[in-house]
Amino acid sequence: MEGALTARDRVGIQDFVLLDETTETAFLSNLNKRFSKDLIYTYIGTLLVSVNPYKELDIYNRKQMDIYMGVNFFELPPHIYALADNAYHTMLTEFNNHFILISGESGAGKTEASKKILQYYAISCPSTTLLNTVRDKMLKSNPVLEAFGNAKTLKNDNSSRFGKYMDIQFDSQGDAVGGHILNYLLEKSRVVHQNHGERNFHIFYQLVEGGEDDLLHQLGLERDSLHYNYLTQGECAIVFSINDKNDWKTVKNALQVIDHLFGIVASVLHLGNVQFDSDSKGQALLNNNAETKYLNPTKIRCKRVKIPFTIDHAIYARDALAKAIYGLTFTWLVNRINGSMENKDSSRKTVIGLLDIYGFEVFYVNSFEQFCINYCNEKLQQLFIQLTLKAEQEEYEAENIEWEPVQFFNNKIICDLVEEKHRGIISILDEECLRPGDATDLTFLERLEEKMGNHPHFVTHKLADKMTRKTLERGDFRLLHYAGEVTYCVVGFLDKNNDLLYRNIKDVINSSLTVSSLSHMDLTDELLGIMTLMLCPCFGNMMESFEFHPFLGHIITGQFDEALIRHQVKYLGLMEHLRVRRAGFAYRRKYEVFLKRYKPLCPATWPHWRGMPADGVEELVQHLGYLPNEYKMGRTKIFIRHPRTLYATEDAYEKCKHELGESTRLQAKYKGYKAKGEFRKQKEAATKIETCWRGVQARKERERRAWAVKVIKRFIKGYMTRGQAKTTDNSEYLAFVRQNYLNRLKEKLPKTVLDKTSWQAPPAVLAETSEILRKLHYRLMVRKYVRGIAPQKKAQLQLKLVTSSIFKGKKDTYPHSVAQPFVDTRISISVSNLTDGMIVFHITCEDPKEKGDLVMQCDHLFEFLTKLSVIANKQSAIKVVQGSIKIEIQAGKESAVDFSTGQEPMVYKAKNGHLMVVS
């Protein structure tokens, strides 16, 4: 915050709350000024606004993470790491749940923002195996969820077509212990229809373009996206900016369950290519096209029931089935991911949730999907305005500051228009879906006109005035949202709200699940249900589960196209939020923080204030001349109403800092002069001490040299008399000789029993001692060697001993074999269960040149093998085999001996290369 004040003319204001004017023009100007310097983050209080730069910025590295760890929220420039860190530490302090809402239009970077937050927690939280597991699975699930839940739209090549809520569960120590993902509002209609310039979900194109040839052949697919009706509705199946083949590799590597899952994806494509003809009565007939054989009709175990459908009904049933299968498959994927991250501990946990949701959508044609998405955003707008007001009011109450009512647009009237029981649009839509008779989208529109004809936020072609009527089709209705007007086309509203499967289709699926690929995915119960777009319960349950706090992040996209930015500022409700934050006081800080920064401005508080911080702040602001209506003193904070008051204080601080700098330089010069005089005194004292010390050292050196001369003299005399009997002159020398020999011997003792030559030659005085030591050392080495022999090695040596008694001096090749270890042949024996006399000896061999297994015939098979097993004491080595015995001809080359019965015994080489034995 303070950094923004000192550099406000260069990089704008880091918190919009401190703008002099709370106008849209001032808002956009500040945003543009910061964006031009690659400062993409700006605060509105605790709300973070981000402008997508569409280029890489070096602000997400480990160094940046370390800077923001455990720092006060406003102490450093705005950053998504500050938001994440504040949520984490507040959660630990208060031990309650928090969530971060990330909203914005398609392509704004919402999913990337959630990844950055997860990566920050992975580094900043205490590192545990559980944290790494949760973190890795959340991050690695992204390619799979994006493949099955993202698609190319007109605005974004990788647009999320589903809402995603992720939470990380923490224990009281702040360790991550689990995670969960909630998906909702999957745009299933995209499976069967796409607008011009858009594509189906990525996974279809990835499978067709990147799948291996064997897999495509198995699934009955062609490597051509244009071949499939469900992939060509938007007329852009091939997009050069998307590499489906590479994306396929990423998705396949991330998935453990492959075959069954892709079989379902393929079945959806085949369903889309199923065509219908009409008979003479106008009833639909199934074509005998090639696609039907891949839908496994032979596996369906149920009675054939003929229900007359028109072609339109048949197409509707086909598409409804495709959407249901795909929707349930997506739900199953999310459940599998959740199962791998499930927290098994039932003790209380706190969570930080990340809500990555569609932004407000306004297209050329807006249908049921946009209606649900925009209603969701309407509710979110209502929620965070209420939470902001609540937080402001609670802070004022806690600080004993009088609360002043805030005037803002309350969008409750729009929410009620959509959700009110028995009168809202959703209730009327549900009633029309259940009403007997020929209910259509147009009859639904008529009911809307009857129920809410006078509503100020609702208009249709029939209800509009002459000028407005020109902008509305007869099948349209228009809602005036908080973000602006949106026109919705009612065509498809009833079908999409119902999203029904005909009962006979569900029965067929039920009977086929026991043998179809879906049964392998535990989808039986789910597929029998009816998937409906029920936004309210899903979102409502989530709201009840958490105590929300306004750590909100809004994403704005674009290369600062002012018209586009202005539109997004409006539909994200940023100006409303700013006005709520600015309704009371623009700036509030704890007394300690305010006093620490600005205490140089008042003689009474500089350089130290000894009293209470609140009294010091009061003394300071009185000295600065604050008027009574410019500030309020709370229990723990000072509240400043206008930014200009704070700016004046900050300018005074900058001037004071400069003056303090001048006095500091004078002090430095004086201190330098004093230090030089002190240095000269210390240098003179050091010189005197050094002279005395050198004298002491010289006397010690003279004594040391005299002692050395005496030692050398005695050594020379001892050397000259070393061959004589021990005397006073040579006793020290002989002791030296003994010690020196023993030291050399210790460093170079023989390491192996077979080393007979490296023993150190002794001096004459130690000849007898050396021989005794040599024998002791070799006995010790032999003892260690014997004790260290492994049982397997001992058995080898025992065998070598037997071999020696049999062959030594009798066979020429015996000496060469002594050093070679015995080869462990691990012979096993196989015989067939028939009446033949064939025996196969399986012999392990490693050299390809060696012969492999031995096959022989013996008339006395039972006697031979019985005696052999008794001698070897290995009855388990003999196996009786039925049908065929595998043999190894050479190392790595296998064959087999096949056994059968016939009219006469025979042994011959069969056509398959095996040895055939007929008994």
Which residues have a catalytic role annotated? 106-107, 111, 156, 159-160, 359, 361
Round to whole Å and give the CA distance between 358 and 187: 11
Burial class (CB in 10 A: 0-12, 13-18, 19+), 409: middle
109 is in an annotated binding site: yes
Q: Tell me the DSSP string of 874-908.
A: -GGGEEEESSEEEEEEETTEEEEEEEE--SS-EEE
CA distances from 435 to 317, 428, 430, 444 (A): 20, 10, 9, 10
Q: Which tokens belong to 594?
A: 């305010």
* Tally of CB atoms within 10 A around 328: 20
Residue of 579, 407, 416, 409 whose CA lies nearest to 482: 409
Is the N-terminal amide bond of 607 cis, ω within 30° of 0? yes
* DSSP assigned state of 604: T
Contacts of 579 (CB under 8 A, 6+ apart): 22, 406, 408
| Structure token pair of residue 72 | 């006060």
Q: Are 116 and 60 in contact (CB under 8 A)?
A: yes
Distance, in Å, from the CA atom of 696 to the CA atom of 694, rounded to the nearest integer, reads 5
- Tell whether 378 is in a known binding site: no
Q: Is 913 annotated as a binding residue?
A: no
Those residues whose C-beta lies under 8 Å from the C-beta of residue 274, and which sit 6 or more positions away, are 286, 287, 289, 291, 292, 295, 318
Residue 919 assigned as binding residue: no
Query: Residue 346 burial by CB count (10 A; 0-12/13-18/19+): exposed, middle or buried?
Result: exposed
First to last CA, the chain: 96
Q: Provide DSSP, 221-272.
A: --S-GGG-GGGSTTS-S--TT--HHHHHHHHHHH-S--HHHHHHHHHHHHHH
CA–CA separation, 185 and 451 (whole Å):
27
Task: Report d(CA 294, CA 290) in Å as an integer.
Answer: 8
105 assigned ligand-binding residue: yes
Q: How do strand 838-842 and strand 854-857 relate by DSSP bridges?
A: antiparallel
Scanning the structure block, which residue is given the tokens 């890489």? Answer: 56
Question: Is 107 a known ligand-binding residue?
Answer: yes
User: Which pair of structure tokens corresponds to residue 294?
Assistant: 């891949």
Q: Find out whether 102 and 354 touch, Cβ atoms under 8 Å.
A: yes
| Spatial distance between the Cα atoms of 896 and 917, rounded to a whole number of angstroms | 11
The 3-class secondary structure across 630-678, one letter per residue, is HEEECCCEEEECCHHHHHHHHHHHHHHHHHHHHHHHHHHHHHHHHHHHH
Sign of CA dihedral 463, 464, 469, 473: negative
Q: Is 104 annotated as a binding residue?
A: yes
How many Cβ atoms are within 10 Å of 916's Cβ, its own excluded? Answer: 18
Residue 484 annotated in ligand binding: no
Exposed, middle or buried by CB within 10 Å (0-12, 13-18, 19+), for 887?
A: buried
d(CA 298, CA 523): 20
For 281, which DSSP code?
Answer: T
Axis-axis angle for helices 613-624, 643-720 (nearest 10): 130
**Rounded to an integer, what distance in angstroms lies between the CA atom of residue 320 and that of residue 505?**
10
**What is d(CA 357, CA 110) in angstroms, rounded to the nearest whole number?**
8
CA distance 684 to 679: 9
Known binding residues for ATP? 104-111
